[in-house]
Amino acid sequence: MMPEKANRMETHTFFLQLLIILVAARLFAEIAVHLGAPAVIGELTAGIILGPSLLGWIQPNEIIRYLAEIGILLLLFEVGLDTDMRKLMNTGRSSAIVALGGFIIPFVLGYLLASLAFDLSTLVSLFIGGALTATSIGITLRVLSDLGQRNSREGQIVLGAAVLDDVLGVVLLALLYEFSIAGGISLANTGKVLAFITLFFLLAPIAAKLISVLIKHVDDASDLPGLIPTAMVSLVLLFAWLAHKMGAPELLGGFAAGLALSRRFFLPFGIALHTETEFSQRIEAQMRPIIQLFTPIFFVMVGLSLNLQEVDWSSAFIWAFSFLFLLVAIIGKFSGALLTAEPIRQRIAIGVAMVPRGEVGLIFAELGRTSGIFDNNIYAGMIMVIALTTLLPPFLLKYIYRQEFTTQ
């Protein structure tokens, strides 16, 4: 009886923990934004400060972990909801070059550096390469909006590239996940993952239509409020569970659910199934508070999970690792931008805007850590690389656009 009782947290203790997490996340996010950094940096910092790295007030526990899982699922739902396949087609050639170049080059360079210079295993090297391919669509779009550049030509290119990069990243994540479970990417397994993704991308608009019709029907038939929040969260949970059942990461389910309900989802074959704009806007308006409540818990949880006291900071390895992979992370994304035919200043701006790894990079790192692929040193190094790639570009972009403004 006793150990069971000791394990069970009292309700008011849970309330206090959740309170501290929410308030600290917000406080440090505000400080980060005040200093010109993305909010996510503040939330990570809150977790590092509250967790075993510094204060040790909150140990990562099961209930907080479940809430964090819902948070990241909902974030991927939102990313899916924001993904607009038509934008990608309109921005055309440049977007594709930026996305593919900025995807392949960091992956290959990261893999080679990890496996040749650091003598790491294939699986670890692939995950490091994978984490370096990510572009945080959220942070990138946020930075461009803050600078009033979202509708400029380079803004459109970055938007398209970030959307494509996001889809590529999710596919790669599924492949790496498969690789980490099966020990290799067999043709059958790759086929299965690709079949699943194709199935999802083919069924998503049909599901969206069916769900729209069903929800609208229920909405018309009764005046019982609150359908959208429960229906949407249920949908995300269902797709996450289905994804798991098909051997893919649960996160892909959240993304697919969002993509299925996004305002303009296009099949590659030119088939378009529009979700009603009014309905789509209502979903966004009602889901936003829920997403905003849950997602900081994920980033705080990542900070809590990172025990920096276990890292040997006096070792040359961690410093060399962080420095070299930071270079690869920046050069990789820049190369993609430099391959385009845009004016040089625009190419630089695009390159900088694509650098932030943010939450997408963290998903790779977190998956690497929880599945035991990354040890604490590599995980800490990757977190440093992700943090720096996320922290530096906003300052650089501000500088670039201020220069441009001055020289005009």
Q: Looking at beta carbons only, is 142 or 263 nearer to a second copy?
A: 142
Q: Looking at beta carbons only, is 81 or 105 nearer to a second copy?
A: 81
Shortest Å, Cβ 263 to a second copy: 19
Burial of 110 (C-beta count, 10 Å sphere; 0-12/13-18/19+): buried
Shortest Å, Cβ 314 to a second copy: 33
Closest CA to 158 of 241, 102, 223: 102
Q: Looking at beta carbons only, is 90 or 292 nearer to a second copy?
A: 292
Shortest Å, Cβ 9 to a second copy: 8
Q: Looking at beta carbons only, is 42 or 351 nearer to a second copy?
A: 42
Find all residues with CB under 8 Å of 52, minimum gap 6, and list them: 59, 304, 307, 309
Shortest Å, Cβ 41 to a second copy: 12
Which tokens sit at 200? 């999802």
Q: Looking at beta carbons only, is 91 or 140 nearer to a second copy?
A: 140
Shortest Å, Cβ 89 to a second copy: 29
Shortest Å, Cβ 142 to a second copy: 9
Shortest Å, Cβ 25 to a second copy: 7
Shortest Å, Cβ 228 to a second copy: 7
| Residues in touch with a second copy (CB under 8 A) | 7-9, 11-12, 14-16, 18-19, 22-23, 25-26, 29-30, 33-34, 39, 62-63, 66, 69, 146, 218, 221-231, 233-234, 237-238, 240-241, 244-245, 250, 286-290, 292-293, 296
Q: Looking at beta carbons only, is 105 or 228 nearer to a second copy?
A: 228
Q: Looking at beta carbons only, is 12 or 268 nearer to a second copy?
A: 12
